[in-house]
């Protein structure tokens, strides 16, 4: 059984002085011989061949050492022994035994009284002053302390001790084990942020990666309950796809909007409600609440080209798609908008055996089918107007623009791109974008006009089978959007 209590001050004498070493530390250091018997044998061995002068010297050293240890002056005790070793080189064996025992007692004091700094100081000093098997015994004592604190659930101390030993022993496995256990303890105590930090430190250990997601999920709920909707949304979005995070993000919006409405901030609540129009009783709130009707009237009166509205959602994240307002049509109560965020790369046409046109293009088929279904809810799709798309001829091209169409999503023509160029160019993120397609034919076979809106705002053209940005436009009912 390991010694757990310090019986008194150490008397480090191998000759003529009684030793007081905690029983069990010989076993902790790898020696199964009872301590009292071991010290008795060492005392008899050390006495052999010593004259009265050497015995008196050892007795003096031991008394001085006992006083220093009694006052817990551990560093001074080490220095005192080093001085004795210089003065009495013929007593090196007995003095080194005292030194080893001093370090073991130093560690024992720290462990018994749970003074971590003592253990760390003893370890640092021992590594500077001891070598070989003598040092190994001290390292074993510190390792035993680390094991005891780990088993007792004191993971912070165990982690500190294991880490201090790491460059002397291969303890990566022990460190990961303890840090993981500590993270679990923090999670049980609902300290999710600290748990995340510790799980992250051992991300490859067991299921730590999944635990990070779960703690993030739980912390997001804490923030949501506390009214920190933005913080909760950010955390849910960071683990989008885990459990029901998509629903939780919508719940964040709903709770925030209701809170704003109830505090008289209908204009702030309006865009949030519109972003979750199909959730719970949102439609009823917008239809029946007087405050929300007033907010809608104020919004309609204030929207202008160059503003940004939110409509639909990106596929890979929970982010709402943002659209740049190019024009308004009060008679239709609709807005012409151009996609601003999460644009996709794609070809205008998969082939150029015939000159590419909008009505036959791969881009048109994709935008009005797969893209539409993936990025918008059924209710949002209903809010996108079916628009007559005129096949406008490129005045510099001899190629036909194809047939007129009716589409919900479409690409701008070169004439439309030029018409709204100032609005588009004023939106700084697009000054250096990869070229995006228009629906206008180029001047060479197989080419389509495209715009990069560089600093000069110049247009260009490229082959329809080359990859460019698909930047759709649409007319959307203005009571369906948020900004």
| Domain architecture of the chain: domains with CATH | 25-169 (no CATH), 209-302 (1.25.40), 324-480 (no CATH)
Residue 143 confidence (pLDDT) above 70: yes
In this model, does residue 251 exceed pLDDT 80? yes
Q: What is the pLDDT of residue 364?
A: 94
pLDDT exceeds 70 at position 380: yes
Q: Residues 221-234: what's their mean pLDDT?
A: 93
pTM of the model: 0.55
Ranges 184-198, 252-266, 452-466: which has the least confidence: 452-466
Q: Which residue has the higher pLDDT, 277 or 137?
A: 137
Residue, of 194 and 458, whose pLDDT is higher:
194
The whole-number pLDDT of residue 453 equals 59
- Residue range 122-137: average pLDDT? 90
- How much is the average pLDDT of 95-124? 90
Rounded to an integer, the average pLDDT of 306-328 is 84
Please report, rounded to a whole number, the percentage of residues in the chain having pLDDT higher than 70: 82
The vertex-410 CA angle with 409 and 413, nearest 5°, equals 160
Average pLDDT score over residue span 148-154 = 92
Q: Is the pLDDT of residue 456 over 70?
A: no
Least confident of 5-14, 101-110, 245-254, 459-468: 5-14
Q: Mean pLDDT, the chain, as a whole number?
A: 82
Count of beta carbons in the 10 Å neighbourhood of residue 363: 25
More confident site: 297 or 434:
297
Per-residue pLDDT at 300: 67
Cβ contact 184:164 at 8 Å: no
> Which has the higher per-residue pLDDT, 456 or 405?
405
> Considering only 154-163, 197-206, 439-448, which range has the smallest mean pLDDT?
439-448
pLDDT given for residue 279 in this prediction: 87
Residue-level pLDDT at 170: 81
Q: What is the pLDDT of residue 245?
A: 93
Of 136-145, 155-164, 213-222, 459-468, give the lowest mean pLDDT range: 459-468
pLDDT of residue 232: 94
pLDDT band at 433 (very low <50, low <70, confident <90, very high): low
Judged against a pLDDT cut of 80, whether residue 288 lies above it is answered with: yes
Structure confidence at residue 302 (pLDDT): 67
pLDDT at residue 330, as a whole number: 65
Provide the pLDDT confidence category of residue 8 given band limits of 50, 70 and 90: very low
* Mean pLDDT of the region 81-108: 91
Place of tokens 């690409």: 411
Lowest mean pLDDT among 5-14, 229-238, 338-347: 5-14
Tell whether the model's pLDDT for residue 66 goes beyond 60. Answer: yes
What is the pLDDT averaged over residues 386-408? 91
**What is the structure's pLDDT at 181?**
95
Give the mean pLDDT of 88-112.
90
**Quick check: 119 pLDDT over 50?**
yes
| Neighbouring residues of 334: CB distance < 8 A, sequence distance ≥ 6 | 328, 385, 475, 476, 477, 478
pLDDT band with cut points at 50, 70 and 90 for residue 442:
confident
Q: Where residue 214 falls among pLDDT bands split at 50, 70, 90? A: very high
Q: Given this model, what pLDDT does residue 292 score?
A: 85
Q: What is the 3-state secondary structure (H, E, C) of the chain?
A: CCCCCCCCCCCCCCCCCCCCCCCCHHHHCCCCCCHHHHHHHHHHHHHCCCCHHHHHHHHHHHHHHHHHHHCCCHHHHHHHHHHHHHHCHHHHHHHHHHHHHHHHHHHHHHHHCCCHHHHHHHHHHHHHHCCHHHHHHHHHHHHHHHHHHHHCCCHHHHHHHHHHHCCCCCCHHHHHHHHHHHHHHHHHCCCHHHHHHHHHHCCCCCCHHHHHHHHHHHHHHHHHHCCCHHHHHHHHHHCCCCCCHHHHHHHHHHHHHHHHHHCCCHHHHHHHHHHCCCCCCHHHHHHHCHHHHHHHHHHHHHCCCCCEEEEEECCCCCCEEEEEEEEEECCCCEEEEEECCCCEEECCCCCCCCCCCHHHCHHHHHHHHHHHHHHCCHHHHHCECCEEECCCCCCCCCCCCCCCEEECCECCCHHHHHHCHHHHHCCHHHCCCCCEEEEEECCCCCEEEEECCCCCCCEEEEECCCCEEECCEEEEEHHHCEC
As a whole number, mean pLDDT of residues 281-306 equals: 81
Query: Residue 481: which of 290, 272, 314 has the closest Cα?
Result: 272
The pLDDT value recorded for residue 274 is 76
More confident residue, 170 or 229: 229
Confidence grade of residue 467 (pLDDT, cut at 50, 70, 90): confident
């Amino acid at each position: 059984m390991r010694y757990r209590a310090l019986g008194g001050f150490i008397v480090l004498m191998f000759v003529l002085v009684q030793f007081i070493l905690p029983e069990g530390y010989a076993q902790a250091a790898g020696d199964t011989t009872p301590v009292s018997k071991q010290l008795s044998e060492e005392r008899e061995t050390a006495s052999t061949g010593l004259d009265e002068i050497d015995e008196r010297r050892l007795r003096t050293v031991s008394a001085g050492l006992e006083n220093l240890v009694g006052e817990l002056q551990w560093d001074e005790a080490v220095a005192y022994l080093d001085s004795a070793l210089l003065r009495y080189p013929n007593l090196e064996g007995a003095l080194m035994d005292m030194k080893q025992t001093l370090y073991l007692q130093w560690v024992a004091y720290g462990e018994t009284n749970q003074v971590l700094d003592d253990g760390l100081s003893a370890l640092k000093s021992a590594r500077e002053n001891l070598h070989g098997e003598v040092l190994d015994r001290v390292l074993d004592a510190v390792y035993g302390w680390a094991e005891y604190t780990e088993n007792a659930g004191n993971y912070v101390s165990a982690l500190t001790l294991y880490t201090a030993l790491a460059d002397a022993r291969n303890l990566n496995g022990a460190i990961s084990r303890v840090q993981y256990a500590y993270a679990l303890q923090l999670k049980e105590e609902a300290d999710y942020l600290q748990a995340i930090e510790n799980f992250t430190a051992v991300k490859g250990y067991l299921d730590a990666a999944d635990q990070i997601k779960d703690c993030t999920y739980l912390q997001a709920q804490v923030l949501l309950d506390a009214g920190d909707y933005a913080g909760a949304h950010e955390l849910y979005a960071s683990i989008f796809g885990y459990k029901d995070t998509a629903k939780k993000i919508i719940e964040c919006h709903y709770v925030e909007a209701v809170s704003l409405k109830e505090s008289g901030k209908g204009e702030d609540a309006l865009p949030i409600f519109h972003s979750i129009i199909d959730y719970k009783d949102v439609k009823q709130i917008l239809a029946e609440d007087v405050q929300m009707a007033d907010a809608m009237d104020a919004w309609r009166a204030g929207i202008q080209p160059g503003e940004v509205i939110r409509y639909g959602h990106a596929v890979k994240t929970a982010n709402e798609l943002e659209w740049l307002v190019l024009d308004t049509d009060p008679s239709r109560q609709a807005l012409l908008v151009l996609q601003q965020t999460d644009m996709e790369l794609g070809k205008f046409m998969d082939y150029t055996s015939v000159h590419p046109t909008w009505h036959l293009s791969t881009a048109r088929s994709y935008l009005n089918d797969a893209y539409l279904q993936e990025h918008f809810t059924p209710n949002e799709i209903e809010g996108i107007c079916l628009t007559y798309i005129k096949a406008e001829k490129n005045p510099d091209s001899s190629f036909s623009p194809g047939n007129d169409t009716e589409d919900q999503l479409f690409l701008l023509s070169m004439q439309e791109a030029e018409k709204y160029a100032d609005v588009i160019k004023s939106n700084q993120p697009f000054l250096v974008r990869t070229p995006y397609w228009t629906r206008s034919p180029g001047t060479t076979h197989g080419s389509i006009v495209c715009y990069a809106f560089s600093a000069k705002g110049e247009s260009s053209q490229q082959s329809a089978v080359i990859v460019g940005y698909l930047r759709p436009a649409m007319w959307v009912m203005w009571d369906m959007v948020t900004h």
